[in-house]
Structure 1
Amino acid sequence: MKLSKKRVLFLTIISTLLSILGVTGFIISYKVTYWAKHLGQYKLGDLEIFRKYSSTINILAVCSIILFLLTTLILMRVIQKKSRKAIAALSLTFSIIIGSYLFLCLFIYQNLDGIIKINHLVYQPKKIDQSTAEKIRLLYSDAEEIKINTSDNINLYGWLIKNSSVKEAPLLIYFGGSGEEVSDMLSIAEGLDGWSVALINYRSYGLSEGEPSKISLYNDANSIYDYFSKRSDIDNKKIVSMGYSLGTGIAVNLSSERSTVGTILVSPYDNYSKLKGNTISNALQLHNMFPLSYFIGESYNSIKKASSIKTPLLCLAGDLDKNIPIEYSKNLVAKWGGEKTMKTIHRGDHSFLFTSGDAWNEIKNFLKVV
């Protein structure tokens, strides 16, 4: 049997594509079926079709692999020299490995943002209704209710706690975690003597409207700053940005774009995509085989902005924090452009901010000197 070079090349390409299709079909079908069985709390969105039709997909995958074997057999019969056969076999093997990996990367890229969104893996909005808002109004009668209209006509709601009798009070602007509704901070904020505290909910949190995204939250933080800096009862030369967990990325961005005298970060990350990529890889048991951090849209790359900020930093991190391991916080602090202080909270988990008196003593001491 003798074939022209063009036909041999065509046969090689067809053989490789059939194998890639079969291998990736098997892997995707297996993984999705595994997720559906062992990760019941995860919603898979469009991937559900692979679980629903797994038998059909597996049959098609087997057929593709059989056709690959047949075309490979023909190819090996056509090639006469043993050295060329070996080269062809190696080329096919490497092409299948690389092609299957790239195809899986593309597949994950196409579906990852959907999995993140439907499972609330970045934003976990916590709403309150009007009856809860009324209870807050009665419990915290001194808290001023705030409504801020953004540039895209979205209303953000929250509170201003006034802990100072001076005409122009210094201001702490607080940005919460991914699952935090900021009224939880009202009682704590009342203890920051001498400082007014702004607690404004993210989009879709509390009573705030809209849907959160990285760009919208960055812009909203700037709008919050601009709103308060123009008030006659706020000292616009003494504003501190504070973030917890997810909110640390927003606080860092605000300090890089507006004039703040200091930044307080509690359980911060260096790069949210890297952190979330590792978290999702572990949850889906992908064993970091794929560069998921490059596929996640909400990047919050704090470390990229850290060196440009020349004002003081207070960083608090828990040594038992599993959500954001302390190494991520240390990476960010190392790149900070201004004076920096990092305090490790002994036996502190991810929620130590709400339970640790030591953490709040550190924050109060920092506010005294900025």
Structure 2
Amino acid sequence: MLRMTLLTIIGALALFYIGVCGLLYFMQERLMFFPSPVATYPTHPAIETVSLDSGDVQLAGWVINQDSQGPLLVYFGGNGEELSQSTSHFVSLPATSILINYRGYGDSEGKPGQSGMFADAEAVVDFAQARYGKDRPLLVFGRSLGSVVAVHAAAEKHPNALILMSPFRSAADVATAQYRWIPASTIRWMLRHPFDVTTAISELPSRMLIIRTDDDRVIPPRETDLFIDRLTTPPEIARYLGEHNEPLSRPDIWRALQAFVANTQSH
């Protein structure tokens, strides 16, 4: 009787485990991407609406300070970040900033996914340089999931400098920290969008700014530490006190960004 009860419990736990793993596998896009329509169309005179083609989809977003004599800056946001809400922050930077929503976000067509987002990142950099000049210094800036997109773009397009906010090594490493009861090997097998920067790190520019916090509950701070440990050249680091979604609203972070961007002109 006891043996039957134990077998029943073990069987139920096994079914529960398989069910949860199946749910994570088939719903991973809903757990990883949070697209939303344009929240508000910017009206600031320094912000211009633009669109571009990436393969068979059209992407839409904004250019800020197009008449700036400073560097070009291309920004890739987090997985829940519709970029119209971020445009006003970039007006203060001494650069021409290009913010294009990921496919499926805002007015951009298509559905989000790693391969499409990586292709879009390259298309956005090509658009920026074709429209505003390849002779201008180029910075690539990525936040959270966008840090992986930015790393891919940097490895392919070789910018003068790279800015990463809450970077990590791979989606599997972050998921393993969040779902400790699922073996790392199982998580890696399940992920259709691995967002892994391991092979790209050696191709990154030596000039880099990392923006991070020790209070991040989305990207474990240890993951950011391990990412930094893999870099061949120590980056500049700007720390802030606060949680994952706070830095874009912090004046101290924007002062650090302004200084880093301004200094890029002389490198």
Quick check: TM above 0.5? yes
What code does the residue aligned with 1:274 have? D
The answer to whether 1:141 aligns with 2:41 is: no
Match of 1:92 in 2: none
CA RMSD of aligned residues (A): 2.3
- Say if 1:147 and 1:30 are closer, same or farther in 2 by CA, change over 3 A: closer
What code does the residue aligned with 2:229 have? A
What is the CA distance between 1:115 and its match in structure 2?
Answer: 2.8
| Structure 2: gaps spanning 5 or more residues | 1-6
> Within 1, Cα distance between the matches of 2:166 and 2:88?
21
Encode CA deviations 1:46-96: one digit per residue, 9 max, x unaligned: x5xxxxxxxxxxxxxxxxxxxxxxxxxxxxxxxxxxxxxxxxxxxxxxxxx
What code does the residue aligned with 2:204 have? I
> Within 2, Cα distance between the matches of 1:311 and 1:289?
35
Give the SS at the match of 1:158: strand
The answer to whether 1:114 aligns with 2:26 is: yes
Aligned equivalent of 1:247, options 146, 162, 172:
146
What is the CA distance between 1:26 and its match in structure 2?
Answer: 2.1
What is the CA distance between 1:293 and its match in structure 2?
Answer: 3.2
Aligned equivalent of 2:221, options 310, 315, 326:
326
Match of 2:63 in 1: 160
Query: 4+ residue runs of structure 1 moved beyond 6 angstroms?
Result: 21-24
The answer to whether 1:308 aligns with 2:208 is: no
After TM superposition, the structure 1 = structure 2 runs for residues 165-176 of structure 1, keeping only pairs within 5 Å, are 165-166=68-69, 169-176=70-77
Aligned residue pairs total 257
Give the SS at the match of 1:354: helix
The answer to whether 1:352 aligns with 2:264 is: no
Confirm or deny: 8 A CA contact 1:262 1:312 kept in the other structure.
yes
The answer to whether 1:368 aligns with 2:267 is: no
The answer to whether 1:27 aligns with 2:1 is: no
> Within 1, Cα distance between the matches of 2:68 and 2:261?
17
When you count helix as a share of all residues, which structure comes out higher? 1
What code does the residue aligned with 2:141 have? M
What is the CA distance between 1:165 and its match in structure 2?
Answer: 4.2
> Within 2, Cα distance between the matches of 1:235 and 1:247?
23
Give the SS at the match of 1:319: coil
| Structure 1: gaps spanning 5 or more residues | 1-20, 33-46, 48-106
Confirm or deny: 8 A CA contact 1:171 1:235 kept in the other structure.
no
Confirm or deny: 8 A CA contact 1:310 1:339 kept in the other structure.
no
Confirm or deny: 8 A CA contact 2:76 2:100 kept in the other structure.
yes
> Within 2, Cα distance between the matches of 1:292 and 1:29?
16
- Say if 1:226 and 1:288 are closer, same or farther in 2 by CA, change over 3 A: same
What is the CA distance between 1:179 and its match in structure 2?
Answer: 0.5
Match of 1:126 in 2: 36
> Within 1, Cα distance between the matches of 2:36 and 2:215?
25
After TM superposition, the structure 1 = structure 2 runs for residues 93-112 of structure 1, keeping only pairs within 5 Å, are 108=21, 111-112=23-24
Confirm or deny: 8 A CA contact 2:72 2:136 kept in the other structure.
no
Encode CA deviations 1:276-296: one digit per residue, 9 max, x unaligned: 2332x15xxxx2456343121
My pick for the range that moved more, 321-330 or 306-315, is 306-315
Match of 1:217 in 2: 117
What is the CA distance between 1:271 and its match in structure 2?
Answer: 1.6
Name which one, 1 or 2, has greater alpha-carbon Rg: 1
Identity of aligned residues (%): 24
Encode CA deviations 1:297-324: one digit per residue, 9 max, x unaligned: 2111123321232331100111111111
Q: TM-score with structure 2 length normalisation?
A: 0.87
> Within 2, Cα distance between the matches of 1:275 and 1:317?
15
- Say if 1:23 and 1:249 are closer, same or farther in 2 by CA, change over 3 A: same
Confirm or deny: 8 A CA contact 2:176 2:183 kept in the other structure.
no
